[in-house]
Amino acid sequence: MIAWLGTGLLGSNFVRAFRRRDEQVRVWNRSADKAHALEADGASAHADPAEAVRGAARVHLALSDDAAVDDVLERARPGLSSEVVLIDHTTTSPTGTVARAALWRDRGVAFQHAPVFMGPANALQGTGVMLTSGDRSRFETLAPELRKMTGNLVYLGPEVDRAASFKLLGNLFLMFLTTGLADMFSLAKALGISPEQALSLFDAFNPAQTIGSRAKRMVDRDFDKPSWELAMARKDARLMLDEARRHGVPLAIVPAIAGEMDRWIDRGHSHDDWTVMAKDATDGTKPPA
């Protein structure tokens, strides 16, 4: 039997997918109506997390943040068996994940962090990406069941916090991408181009093809043979800002990018490839503790 704590959009569809595989599932949610809604799918809803987890072999969590995970696990603790495995799919901090894993290890309870790049539809269909890290033998034991939940199960190594770290890296890229698209549509608005017309740019222009080569240039620190000089990239940023300002349309990200470009130009990198802005980030040294 499985227990699921946190039945928001993601958690609810994971539960429905379990039920489609005829798994017994007991559920709890802070807003009880969301848990009770899953009774129509054959899940058993409970008002108390400790009651929901009683007798469960695995307890899955999909909550909001570190504080919520710690709070709900403490509330569930009286109902946990000595053989249970806690599997947390919440996006949490690497620091919090390390502390949480150590706490439950000291309590004799197995803890596995397994954050996901999955939306509700992915959870229902068993597609998307699930990240894991930590004890290899525990991962291998859980892997057959976790693979049923996702299209791509990725093990990142023995470090307890590695999956949490990679989830934040991925989400950072998605935030940058989404805000960058919003700026693109804002600039298009300033230029009298509809969002639909702006979107047609990608019929011919596929920037995803350049991600790998651009990232490799950054990692290899190959900045002195430019394909696009920083000074020229900064000129284009000026054109964008000028046009947006001229038409009274604010941009969110471009001003910050222009400021970073100015910082590197002031450091003497005008004629380096514009990826030189990653020079400090890729220098291989760790920040002070």
Q: Give tens-digit pLDDT for 22-68.
A: 999 999 999 999 999 999 999 999 999 999 999 999 999 999 999 99
pLDDT band at 284 (very low <50, low <70, confident <90, very high): confident
Minimal CA–CA distance to 73: which of 99, 94, 37, 42?
A: 99
CB 81 within 8 A of CB 3: no
Mean pLDDT of 81-94: 97
What value does the mean pLDDT of the chain take? 97
pLDDT digit string, tens, across residues 224-242: 999 999 999 999 999 999 9
DSSP annotation string for 232-267: HHHHHHHHHHHHHHHTT---SSHHHHHHHHHHHHHT
The two structure tokens encoding residue 53: 């987890």
pLDDT above 70 (res 169): yes
Domain definitions of the chain by residue range: 2-159, 165-278
| CB contact set of 207 (below 8 Å; sequence gap of 6+) | none
pLDDT above 90 (res 286): no
CA distance 87 to 142: 9
| CB contact set of 101 (below 8 Å; sequence gap of 6+) | 111, 113, 134, 160
pLDDT above 80 (res 171): yes
pLDDT at 289: 57
pLDDT at 106: 97
pLDDT above 60 (res 222): yes
CA distance 155 to 158: 9
Percentage of the residues of the chain whose pLDDT score is greater than 70: 99
Beta bridge partners of 153: 130
Mean pLDDT of 149-173: 98
Query: Does the domain formed by 2-159 have CATH 3.30.43.10?
Result: no
Mean pLDDT of 10-19: 98
Q: The CATH number of 165-278 is which of 3.20.20.70, 1.10.1040.10, 3.40.50.620, 1.20.120.1200?
A: 1.10.1040.10
pLDDT band at 288 (very low <50, low <70, confident <90, very high): low
CB 60 within 8 A of CB 28: no
pLDDT at 287: 66
pLDDT above 90 (res 173): yes
pLDDT band at 285 (very low <50, low <70, confident <90, very high): confident
Minimal CA–CA distance to 131: which of 104, 92, 179, 164?
A: 164
pLDDT at 85: 98
Q: For the chain, how big is the Rg over CA atoms in Å?
A: 24
